[in-house]
Amino acid sequence: MYIKTVLFSSSFSDEGITYFVPDFLEEKIKIGQIILVPYWKQIKDAVILEILDKIDFDEKKIKSIIEIKFEIPLLFPYQIKLINFIAKKYFSLIHHCLNLFFPKNLKEKIRKDKITPPIPNPFPPREKGDKSWDNLEYSSFLRSTPKYIINLARDFRKKPTKYEDFMWNILRRNQLNWIKFRRQHPFWRYIADFYSDELKLVIELDWKIHEETKEYDKIRDEFIKQYKVRIIRIKNQELEKDLKLVIQKILSPVGGKYPKGDRGIHLSQKQQETYEKIINSKNDKILFHWITWSWKTEIYMKIIEKNLKENKQTLVLVPEIILNSQIFERIEKIFPENIVLINSTISEAKKTKIRLDIYTQKSKIIVWTRSALFYPYKNLWTIIVDEEHDNSYYSDKNPRYSWVEVALKISELLKIKVILASGTPKINDMYKAIKWEFELISLMEKFVSKKL
């Protein structure tokens, strides 16, 4: 067996370098893996681009790979095809194209062997009506919870206190703004009274005994916060005196942002028609033409909301010049729990962490100005290119590619929708719409809120 690889460092190769795979490694070889290979008098890191059965040159001159560095591929097959596309389309050396897909910090960690490859969730995405996440043993499995804690949590659920039972009647069955809560939820050796995975929120009911256990509660809270959740404590007297204030306190950790049941997305009739045209279009390439004050951002929100319900990822590309514009604030306000908001000021180390979060689908909404197209999306469903006519969508460094053309290629590879949105579309894009390569959808009506 032979493989075609590309080095992270300069190799002066247009298409990659071919190596021989020893018999004992053949079954483990996968496209996208990081391997160690000999190059001149050095040992280099390389990525597998292609698996070859035959070669058309002298086999004696082919060197063998040394070892597989990470068995889990760090690039998906569609990304490998994208690397080849960029190299050929923009006449660039292939290792320059590979470097687009790896932040500098990640490449350095790979070189020093200081990275643990991301391990995908072994469980399939939750289907509608699936009760597996309601099973305490299933959810606690991911946290390595001791079995005696699981049994203890079950006992607590069977014998709740008067106030726990009262609170559960408010939270159960998604009654509170359609937010799902679990009761007696374990965090390793500790058990939380109520927990919402959607809000990343723990609710603790305090009674008289907690006045004597403040030190223990402090240690317990610090441990639970390692799971990146917020904790609020409600005294039993508060439930008796002012229930409305308690509910407000529960929702306040999300900063007054819209919960799942009502995210505050209200479309006019024309906006609704435009939204339905976009999602029902059989053409994956859409040119969305809008006018000022049409509030096209609301349509973006509706598309993101639909994707979230289906556990899909959404990528929103925006020009650097409008980084602090209303679109960012709007998305962050409505979808605080799933968004990754990035710009060119983010450090390389932060980009590496974000890359791993996107790979493992922890991040569902990605709003970015640069590099976003080259991250490993496992469940990407829609790419929105806002202000697609902007000149900042052209790279000024090698390789000198067009963000829009790369987005269209990803759409073609993954069979997903790409929405090119602009108030002043480019002439060549309008021409493609006339030729039916793109579907032209227009929003030529200003938005008037019914609340005004």
Q: Of the given ranges (71-85, 174-188, 257-271, 327-341), which has the lowest mean pLDDT?
A: 257-271
Nearest-angstrom CA–CA distance, 303 and 421: 13
Same domain, 276 and 386: yes
Same structural domain, 73 and 208: no
Determine the Cα–Cα distance for residues 403 and 392; give it in Å rounded to an integer. Answer: 9
Residue 197: predicted pLDDT: 83
What percentage of the chain exceeds 70 in pLDDT?
Answer: 80
Q: Which residue in this structure is represented by tokens 């605080």? A: 336
Q: Does residue 122 lie in a domain region?
A: no
Q: Is there a single domain that holds both residue 181 and residue 96? A: no
Structure pTM? 0.65
Do 95 and 144 reside in the same domain of the chain?
A: no
Domain of 399? 269-443
DSSP assigned state of 245: H
Residue closest to 288 by CA, chosen among 301, 298, 275: 275
CA distance 274 to 441: 7
Cβ atoms of residues 335 and 259 within 8 Å: no
Helices 326-334, 296-309: axis angle to 10 degrees equals: 30
* Mean pLDDT, rounded, of the chain: 78
Q: Look at residue 258 and tell me whether its pLDDT is greater than 80.
A: no
Residue 119, number of CB atoms within 10 A of its CB: 9
CATH number of the domain encompassing residue 187: 3.40.960.10
What band does 419 get if pLDDT is binned at 50, 70 and 90? very high
Least confident of 69-78, 99-108, 126-135, 407-416: 126-135
Question: Smallest Cα–Cα separation from 356: which of 79, 33, 104, 118?
Answer: 118
pLDDT reading at 65 higher than 50: yes
Are 241 and 273 part of one and the same domain?
A: no
Q: Are residues 240 and 340 in the same domain?
A: no
Q: Would you state the structure tokens that stand for residue 117, as one six-digit string?
A: 């490859």
Percent of the chain with pLDDT over 90: 10
Calculate mean pLDDT across residues 205-212. 72
CA distance 47 to 300: 36
Residue 449 falls inside a structural domain = no
- Please tell me whether residues 246 and 371 are part of one structural domain: no
CA distance linking residue 452 with residue 448, whole number of Å = 8
285 located within any domain: yes
pLDDT number for residue 142? 40
222 & 285 share domain: no
Same domain, 376 and 422: yes
Structural domain total, the chain:
3
**E strand or H helix that includes residue 384:** strand 380-385
Do 178 and 217 belong together in one domain? Answer: yes
Asked if 155 and 102 sit in the same domain, the reply is no
pLDDT tier at 124, thresholds 50, 70, 90: very low
pLDDT at 126: 39
CATH of residue 381's domain is: 3.40.50.300
Q: How far is CA 395 from CA 162, 318, 369, 404, in A?
A: 63, 14, 12, 11
Distance CA 117, CA 147 (A): 29
Question: Which residues are paired to 287 by β-bridges?
Answer: 420, 440
What pLDDT is recorded for position 420? 92
Task: Decide if 28 is inside a domain.
Answer: yes
The DSSP annotation for 352-373 comes to HHHHHHHHTT---EEEESSSGG
Query: Which ranges of 69-212 does DSSP label H, i.e. alpha helix?
Result: 77-89, 94-98, 104-111, 136-141, 147-158, 162-171
Question: What mean pLDDT comes out for the span 127-146?
Answer: 44
Per-residue confidence (pLDDT) for residue 96, from 0 to 100: 84
